[in-house]
Amino acid sequence: MPKSFARKQMPIAILGVVSVAILCPQPTLAQDAAFVGTWASSEAQCALPQVDPGAPMVVTQEGFDQNEVHCKFSSVSPEADMWKISSTCSVQGDEQSHDFTFAVAGDKLTVTDELGTNDMIRCK
């Protein structure tokens, strides 16, 4: 292909890529998601500091931290009344992939993964 043709076509190709990026739905990153907050199994757990092994789970739009577990969300997909989440987690320095769902009903968060279901309350 002649160089002059390639230069003329490049702006059109870039415009095409930008158009596709704008028109195609992108994976949602938990903006204003109801699951953002601090969650625990009990009110007593809410008071524990993050250095404590029984610390509450602190969830942001990008991931969550709970003592020595740190997860970064790679995708967050809303589905009906829940979110399907894929993440990469570091557990005491060991990196692992972790897929789970969050469902929120009022001040209750239900976390479901391959190990089962865990209900948590929102810390105030």
Query: Rounded CA gap, 20 and 72, in Å?
Result: 27
Beta strands in the chain, from DSSP E residues, in sequence order: 37-40, 57-59, 63-66, 69-79, 82-91, 94-105, 108-113, 116-122
For 20-43, the pLDDT digits (tens) are 333 334 444 455 689 999 999 999
Instruction: Give residue-wise pLDDT tens across range 67-114.
Output: 999 999 999 999 888 999 999 999 988 999 999 999 999 999 999 999
Mean pLDDT of 35-61: 96
Give the domains, in start order, of the chain with CATH numbers.
27-122 (2.40.128)
Radius of gyration of the chain (CA): 20
DSSP E strand stretches across 29-93: 37-40, 57-59, 63-66, 69-79, 82-91
Tell me the C-alpha distance between 32 and 117, whole Å.
24
pTM assigned to the model: 0.73
Residues in the chain: 124
Dist. CA 43–CA 26, nearest whole Å: 37
